[in-house]
Chains A and B, each alone.
Chain A
Amino acid sequence: MTTVDMTPATNKSNSPTNPRRRVYLPNTKYIPILATLTLLLIMYFTGVANYRNFGQPSVVVNLFRDNAVLLVVAVGMTFVIITGGIDLSVGAVISMTTTLTATLLAGGWPPLVVLPLVLLLGALLGAGMGAVIHFFKVEPFIATLAGLFLARGIALFINQNSIPIRDKLWKSLSEYRIVLADGVVTKVTSVTAVVVVLIAAAVLAWTRFGRNVYAVGGNADSALLMGLPVGRTKIAVYTLSGFCAALGGVLFSINSTSGWALQGQGLELDAIAACVIGGVLLTGGSGYVFGSLLGVMVYGLIQTIITFQGDLNAAWTRIIIGLLLFGFIVLQRVVTRRAK
């Protein structure tokens, strides 16, 4: 009996003219993420070399504090993008959540009722959008754009002004400091964000739901023919993204002890950009939560560098963010392309 012995990449990278290539390269799946990591490190050490105190551990720890909301939202977005979708509503869900939370707390609702309620609401809105996308075949971009209008519309309808939060639990969560090491402290929000990242990464890698997410993004028709619950998976990722956005809103309201209907405007694009920088393909089927984490770190580090630079006005801040984003994406493309 003859055995067909095949090593992978018979037809692509491992062409007869270039037999040695494989040896030097890591698994092609990880190239975008490694490229991001390398560039992130370069950026970090450039900062360390140029600014005093940049090398202190608190700079890294503060990255998580300052970007906790973006991180949580990006995690939900990662799931959605891996299925080949997109969720534009996340920023608006944040504003809806903060406004509602502040209003309910001001109205004397117990915080332990408000918390699950707003999370549930975010998840429900996500589920609704997922259902519209799946059952009525509305393009995700449009369905979630409608969700954006709806969520922000609700937020503005509740209150157009910033509402302060005076609830004890919120206050204490906001003020609570976790000491990691001497002189290095962090907040509840950053710890929450890190926990969310870890759970999400585990779910994507080790559960059936996680693998179905990849399958749906890789080829939804095939996934259906393989008997996978495509509809349920699609609805679930939007639900998850809605939940993450609501959680982001809660973190926001804890950080700022206030709620405002114009909070989180444009955050959806930051989250999408973070995912893309982290190597999550907008076409679906490929990407990792840790990639998105790196993407958020890139975003955060850009902000940090700008802060350290100090003398930049708002206009230059925007331009520098744009330029760095540009440099980053182009570099990543060059690295990824060369690897192939």
Chain B
Amino acid sequence: MGEPSPVLEMTGIRKVFPGVVALDGVDFRLFPGEIHALMGENGAGKSTLIKVLTGVYDIDGGDITLGGAAVRFTGPLQSQKAGVSTVYQEVNLCTNLSVAENIFIGREPRRLGRIQWGLMRKRAAELLARLDLNLDVSASLDTYSLAIQQMVAIARAVDVSARVLILDEPTSSLDASEVEQLFKVMRRLKEEGVAILFVSHFLDQVYEVSDRLTVLRNGKLIGEYKTAELPQVQLVEKMIGKELAVLDDLENKAQRTRAKTAEAAPILSATGLGRTGAIAPFDLTINAGEVVGLAGLLGSGRTELARLLFGADRADSGTLQIDGKDVTLRSPQAAMKHGIAFSSENRRTEGILGELTVRENIILALQASRGWTRPIPRRKQDELVDKYIKALQIRPADPEREVRMLSGGNQQKVLLARWLITEPRLLIIDEPTRGIDVGAKAEIQKLVAELSDGGVAVLFVSAELEEVLRLSHKIEVLRDRRLVEELENTEGVDADRIMQTIASGATS
């Protein structure tokens, strides 16, 4: 390292939105051939900084120089032409187009104005081969998994011959081997002299791959550090500005309360329950106060299993017993009648209603179960909503704010509040901590533990093994749409043990 001049330099960047200063005098620099992590909690200003860099937002103050020349981007097209390419958190491609088109759209090889489809496909296949991907490039992108779509997005960004490559949360939907694959590509690009800006919530990944990092907090620059010289604990402190003691409390708590829950009465027990094409028949029993973790890769059937237990999809085989009685769940309403609640992994499309207020979002499920003819009196609504805004520390604590204005973590808390006020006996939560910051994550984990203490059963779905291990009494491991193993979360069980099952598919 130690290149004399940065390829990109931003100084004193200021960006103001109505009522909020999103960036306040932020400096940032990026050298050729380095991987630079941009760190901060949700709302710290990372996304805004990236959007400034890609020309989506214009700045209200400060200077940007790229390759020594002052620039001011007025649109994504312009910044792309200057050599800044971006792969966003949510894959920003057009899934209705083919893989090859997604890589080349806007830059298709043409002769006499006519797109040369054959040549385009050939080039796309070659490019993907460079990233060790072998795909049918003429298939439409929506036939591929999110992980593959992500790779295609990177292939596109790389091919736009970027001097600066921005990767905004690229790993949040990838499994371990895919992450490795991505890192390999990143390192190769780094060797080619590309400057890579990398954003991730996974600290381990940041430490594994980045050379340098910049920390933002509340729109302000906290500092720039060499990754190797900044211990992880200090990084977290800089990011959130407070010590995190809550998590330690949780350690081993699951094991302490195990004896009690193992003897409690089962709330729900499934025998041979399954749905063709979604999840193979499985057996599962959940006791009162028990936290059951579902572990497995993306697409392993975790979500599908959870949806069956909530009646979101209908089972086509097996039986389900609730409180010892046979039931068939035909709809979410039916499940809710039995005290089952479900918070989806797709927070934005299947969870919150962005246009509605915090209050309306929170009372929605309770109101739905009462039916439209019996509205919850306004006083009662305010009471309930205030209680949960306080209990879950929803910020801003304004019940009449539209939910879409809240950060991801707070939206998640609103969703949890929606289900908690229905006083469920079994709470199914699918990926509640994905894409939210460390502080909110800890609070949600703590909440799960508290619910369990209060006798509520929780089915906890998460891609993060550490989290599953910390919270669960027992862990169900899924692989290829099949429940392959049930593990008591005792001393000997750790992440490696579960990984092994996920990888090899041990039979139980």
Determine if chain A interacts with chain B: yes
Chain A residues in contact with chain B, CB under 8 A? 1-13, 15-18, 29, 206-208, 211-212, 214-215, 217-219, 221-229, 285-286
B77 within 8 A of A: yes
Please indicate the chain B residues that have their CB under 8 angstroms from the CB of A11 in the complex. 144-145, 299
A211-B105, A225-B88, A286-B96 known; A7+B136 contact, CB < 8 A: yes
In the complex the two chains form, is B76's CB within 8 Å of A208's CB? no
Nearest CB in chain B to that of A210: its residue: B115
- Which residues 97-124 of B sit at the A interface, judged by CB distance below 8 A? 97, 101, 105-106, 108, 110, 113-115, 117
Cβ contact of A215, chosen from B97, B115, B117, cutoff 8 A: B97
Please indicate the chain A residues that have their CB under 8 angstroms from the CB of B331 in the complex. none
Cβ contact of A214, chosen from B96, B108, B134, cutoff 8 A: B96
Q: Chain A CB within 10 Å — which of B96, B132, B136, B299 has the most?
A: B96
Please give the distance in Å from B49's CB to the nearest CB on chain A. 16
Please indicate the chain A residues that have their CB under 8 angstroms from the CB of B246 in the complex. none
Please indicate the chain B residues that have their CB under 8 angstroms from the CB of A10 in the complex. 143-145, 299
In the complex the two chains form, is B132's CB within 8 Å of A2's CB? yes
B250 within 8 A of A: no
- Which residues 142-169 of B sit at the A interface, judged by CB distance below 8 A? 143-145, 148, 156
Please give the distance in Å from A83's CB to the nearest CB on chain B. 12
A6-B148, A219-B92 known; A212+B134 contact, CB < 8 A: no
In the complex the two chains form, is B76's CB within 8 Å of A227's CB? yes
In the complex the two chains form, is B93's CB within 8 Å of A219's CB? yes
In the complex the two chains form, is A18's CB within 8 Å of B277's CB? yes
In the complex the two chains form, is B92's CB within 8 Å of A222's CB? yes
A217→B94 CA distance, assembly (Å): 9
Please indicate the chain B residues that have their CB under 8 angstroms from the CB of A215 in the complex. 94, 97, 101, 105
A243→B106 CA distance, assembly (Å): 25
A8-B136, A225-B92 known; A207+B277 contact, CB < 8 A: no
Chain B residues in contact with chain A, CB under 8 A? 54, 56, 76-77, 80-81, 86, 88, 92-97, 101, 105-106, 108, 110, 113-115, 117, 132-136, 139-140, 143-145, 148, 156, 178, 181, 276-278, 299, 480-481
In the complex the two chains form, is A218's CB within 8 Å of B134's CB? no
Cβ contact of A285, chosen from B88, B93, B96, B110, cutoff 8 A: B96
Q: Would you mind naming 13 contact pairs between A and B with Cβ atoms under 8 Å apart? A: A3-B133, A4-B134, A6-B134, A9-B139, A9-B143, A206-B115, A208-B106, A211-B108, A212-B105, A214-B94, A219-B92, A219-B93, A221-B92
In the complex the two chains form, is B144's CB within 8 Å of A218's CB? no
A215→B98 CA distance, assembly (Å): 10
In the complex the two chains form, is B93's CB within 8 Å of A222's CB? yes
A9-B143, A208-B115 known; A17+B277 contact, CB < 8 A: yes
A285→B299 CA distance, assembly (Å): 26
Please indicate the chain B residues that have their CB under 8 angstroms from the CB of A208 in the complex. 105-106, 108, 110, 115
Cβ contact of B139, chosen from A8, A212, A229, cutoff 8 A: A8
Please indicate the chain B residues that have their CB under 8 angstroms from the CB of A3 in the complex. 132-134
Please indicate the chain A residues that have their CB under 8 angstroms from the CB of B148 in the complex. 6
A8-B144, A218-B96, A219-B93 known; A225+B108 contact, CB < 8 A: no
User: B-side binding surface: helix, strand, loop or mixed?
Assistant: loop
Q: List the 7 closest A-B pairs by CB distance, nearest first.
A: A218-B94, A8-B143, A218-B96, A8-B139, A285-B96, A15-B277, A227-B77
Cβ contact of B93, chosen from A1, A16, A226, cutoff 8 A: A226
Please indicate the chain B residues that have their CB under 8 angstroms from the CB of A214 in the complex. 94, 96-97
Please indicate the chain A residues that have their CB under 8 angstroms from the CB of B77 in the complex. 227-229
Please give the distance in Å from B213's CB to the nearest CB on chain A. 25
Cβ contact of A228, chosen from B105, B110, B115, B480, cutoff 8 A: B105
Please indicate the chain B residues that have their CB under 8 angstroms from the CB of A207 in the complex. 113-115
In the complex the two chains form, is A217's CB within 8 Å of B96's CB? yes
Please give the distance in Å from A131's CB to the nearest CB on chain B. 17
In the complex the two chains form, is B140's CB within 8 Å of A29's CB? yes
A9-B143, A208-B115 known; A4+B106 contact, CB < 8 A: no
In the complex the two chains form, is A223's CB within 8 Å of B94's CB? yes
Please give the distance in Å from B154's CB to the nearest CB on chain A. 13
In the complex the two chains form, is A219's CB within 8 Å of B95's CB? yes
In the complex the two chains form, is A227's CB within 8 Å of B80's CB? yes
Please give the distance in Å from B20's CB to the nearest CB on chain A. 21
A4-B181, A227-B106, A228-B105 known; A222+B76 contact, CB < 8 A: no
Nearest CB in chain A to that of B142: its residue: A12
A332→B114 CA distance, assembly (Å): 33
In the complex the two chains form, is A285's CB within 8 Å of B94's CB? yes
A186→B480 CA distance, assembly (Å): 60
Cβ contact of A16, chosen from B132, B135, B481, cutoff 8 A: B481
Please indicate the chain A residues that have their CB under 8 angstroms from the CB of B113 in the complex. 207
Nearest CB in chain A to that of B278: its residue: A15
Please indicate the chain B residues that have their CB under 8 angstroms from the CB of A224 in the complex. 76
Please give the distance in Å from A104's CB to the nearest CB on chain B. 34
Cβ contact of B97, chosen from A8, A9, A18, A211, cutoff 8 A: A211
A29→B97 CA distance, assembly (Å): 10
Please indicate the chain B residues that have their CB under 8 angstroms from the CB of A9 in the complex. 139, 143
Please give the distance in Å from B483's CB to the nearest CB on chain A. 15
Please indicate the chain A residues that have their CB under 8 angstroms from the CB of B97 in the complex. 211, 214-215, 218
Please indicate the chain B residues that have their CB under 8 angstroms from the CB of A229 in the complex. 77
Nearest CB in chain B to that of A286: its residue: B96
Please give the distance in Å from B88's CB to the nearest CB on chain A. 7
A18→B275 CA distance, assembly (Å): 13
Cβ contact of A212, chosen from B106, B114, B143, cutoff 8 A: B106
Please indicate the chain B residues that have their CB under 8 angstroms from the CB of A7 in the complex. 136
